Amino acid sequence: MNRYVIIGGGVAAVGCIEGIRKADTEGSITLISGEKKTVYCRPLISYYLQGKTDFEKMKYRSDEFYEKNNCKLVYDTAVSIDKDAKTVTVSSGEKIPYDKLCVATGSSPFVPPFTGLDNVSAKFSFMTEDDAAEIEKAVDENSRVLIVGAGLIGLKCAEGLCGRVKSITVCDLAERVLSSILDEPCAKLMQNVLEENGISFMLGDSAEKFDADKAYMKSGAVVDFDVLILAVGVRANVSLVKEIGGETERGIIIDEKMKTSVEDIYAVGDCSQGVNALTGQKNVLALLPNAVMQGETAGQNMAGADTVFDKGVPMNAIGFFGYHALTAGIYEGEMTEEKTDDSVKRLFVKDNRLVGFMLLGDIERAGIYTSLIREKTPLDTIDAEAIKISPSLLPFSLKYRKIKLGGSKS
């Protein structure tokens, strides 16, 4: 009977458990979770602040999930792996033996070494339910909130706090919001939406130095705040694997079967660095769907199956105040744009393939574009001009539709 051990209790681990159980209903599964709680939807913490959900609803799986899958929970932190003895040591000192190990340790907030940061008592990261709960306690209607970082996490936090605090200022060294997923014009559109809802921005500028309730900006400006939220970025938690000589870069390097360079050790989710299907290069694709699918693939392979996950592409669905941006792929090649008063669509075509898109406002049927990217559909096999105007199945062949909709096998 195989002994499976998973380090990390996030959604990648859930994928892994489900993957294992697809192939092996017998083997023992031990899950080591440092967060000491059952799995929840991490990206939902901003919705928690907004009051749109609660911790009960945020559970990613029911409480019975672990029991149903015969999975033992160890609420402790893994401190080291012995790859020869094939054990994981947790902080209590216990050594947990494994035949197959999956590292799903996720990422941690990256806090730059700002001068005077220690002077700030009300400072928070925004990664976990605990963070959200603490922020909620720390703010009131008179709070002035400074968020450092205008990325996905910082802005979702800003949206979450909007309406419950006096003011929100977001600063970022980058010249635009959401710089990792939106280009300048699209970012501007999204910034407008946020500004219309009372959020202030200081872009191309960042804090250099902190007092207890003051941030001194590069530009010379001084921002008074009551609550500071640091959302500069995250770093993959790679140390467990790095320490035993496993190959790591920004994340733990994995192949298409989710294997690390260490025998019988797999890595999935935000801590891993797997292949980006579009570039062939290995990137950290810290996205929930990716984590689940990687986890599932790893689980199946750990249990003896032979599957690959080679469809990992960057993609994001993000919305603020009801205005949505869906993006996927890479922004290279020839760009075409469709625009209306309140929507933008930018498509990127390279070598007869759709490689990326940004949709803002009108996001209907965006998955058809994503599918073109994931499946690397040659655009000359469909009516490329028609699909650029509107995503639908009309530009595809009758045969394709018969397979997709009509139940035809081929």
Partner 1 sequence: MKRVYVNEEWCLGCHLCEYNCAFANSGLSDMVKALKDKEIYPRIHVEEDNKIKYAVSCRHCDDPLCVKSCIAGAITKDENGTVKIDTDKCVHCYTCILVCPVGAVSHNENGAAMKCELCLENSCGSPACASGCPNKAIVYEERE
Minimum distance, C-beta of residue 204 to partner 1, in the bound complex (Å): 28
Residue placing its CB nearer to partner 1 in the complex, 46 or 191: 46
Minimum distance, C-beta of residue 7 to partner 1, in the bound complex (Å): 21
Minimum distance, C-beta of residue 337 to partner 1, in the bound complex (Å): 19
* Residues 208, 219: Cα–Cα separation, whole Å: 9
Minimum distance, C-beta of residue 49 to partner 1, in the bound complex (Å): 12
Per CB under 8 A, residues contacting partner 1 are 15, 41, 43-44, 47, 52-53, 57-61, 288-289, 292-293, 296, 315-319, 322, 324, 326, 328, 363-368, 370-371, 374-375, 391-394, 398, 401-402, 404-407
Minimum distance, C-beta of residue 112 to partner 1, in the bound complex (Å): 27
Residue placing its CB nearer to partner 1 in the complex, 43 or 233: 43
Minimum distance, C-beta of residue 156 to partner 1, in the bound complex (Å): 10
Residue placing its CB nearer to partner 1 in the complex, 148 or 366: 366
Minimum distance, C-beta of residue 73 to partner 1, in the bound complex (Å): 18
Nearest partner of 153 among 7, 8, 270, judged by Cα: 270
Minimum distance, C-beta of residue 59 to partner 1, in the bound complex (Å): 7
Residue placing its CB nearer to partner 1 in the complex, 266 or 309: 309
255-274 in b/e burial notation, b at 16+ Cβ within 10 A? ebbbbbbbeebbbbbbbbbb
* Total number of residues shown for the chain: 410
Residue placing its CB nearer to partner 1 in the complex, 284 or 363: 363
SS (H, E, C) the chain: CCEEEEECCCHHHHHHHHHHHHHCCCCEEEEECCCCCCCECHHHHHHHHHCCCCCCCCECCCCCHHHHCCEEEECCCEEEEECCCCEEEECCCCEEECCEEEECCCEEECCCCCECHHHCCCEECCCCHHHHHHHHHHCCCCCEEEEECCCHHHHHHHHHHCCCCCEEEEEECCCCCCCCCCCHHHHHHHHHHHHHCCEEEEECECEEEECCCEEEECCCCEEECCEEEECCCEEECCHHHHCCCCCECCCEECCCCCECCCCCEEECHHHEEEECCCCCCEECCCCHHHHHHHHHHHHHHHCCCCCCCCCCCCEEEEEECCEEEEEEECCCCEEEEEEECCEEEEEEEECCEEEEEEEECCCCCHHHHHHHHHHCCEHHHCCHHHHHHCCCCCCCCHHHHHHHCCCCCC
Residue placing its CB nearer to partner 1 in the complex, 324 or 345: 324
Minimum distance, C-beta of residue 291 to partner 1, in the bound complex (Å): 9
Residue placing its CB nearer to partner 1 in the complex, 14 or 96: 14
Residue placing its CB nearer to partner 1 in the complex, 225 or 309: 309
Residue placing its CB nearer to partner 1 in the complex, 116 or 289: 289
